[in-house]
Amino acid sequence: MVHRLVVSYGPPEDPAAFDAHYRDVHAPLARRMPGLVRFTIGHPSAMDPSQPAPYLVAELDFDSEEAMGAAFGSPEGQAAAADVPGFATGGATMTHFDVQTLT
């Protein structure tokens, strides 16, 4: 079963600086995390314009919750986590769950 981490970033003070740092520094750090099987990002739009959307959403998939925990306990995972406060001026919310496929 896939275990997914979702990181929702709030609007940054400087979107161009955020995007450059995310692309050039943070994403390469995250991609080095052991056990990472899928990593996607996107700039969402709210379906209801009266509700704000996050600036950026990242989804990181692992084979299990244990694999995700091991990834964040690794030096690579610790480096990625330590990088977040330096660029995520709009904050970051992290949630995780076992992915269930509905048929």
* pLDDT tens-digit map of 61-92: 999 999 999 999 999 999 999 999 999 999 99
Q: Is 66 inside any structural domain?
A: yes
φ, ψ (nearest 5 deg) of residue 27: -60, -45
Task: Report yes or no on 94 lying in a domain.
Answer: yes
Residue 103 lies in a domain: no
- The CA-atom distances, in angstroms, between 81 and each of 16, 21, 70 are 21, 14, 13
The stretches of 13-54 forming alpha helices (DSSP H) are 15-21, 27-31
Residue type, 74: S
**Residue 78 falls inside a structural domain:** yes
User: Looking at residues 34-47, what average pLDDT do you find?
Assistant: 97
Q: Show the domain range for 28.
A: 3-98
Provide the CATH number for the domain around residue 85. Answer: 3.30.70.100
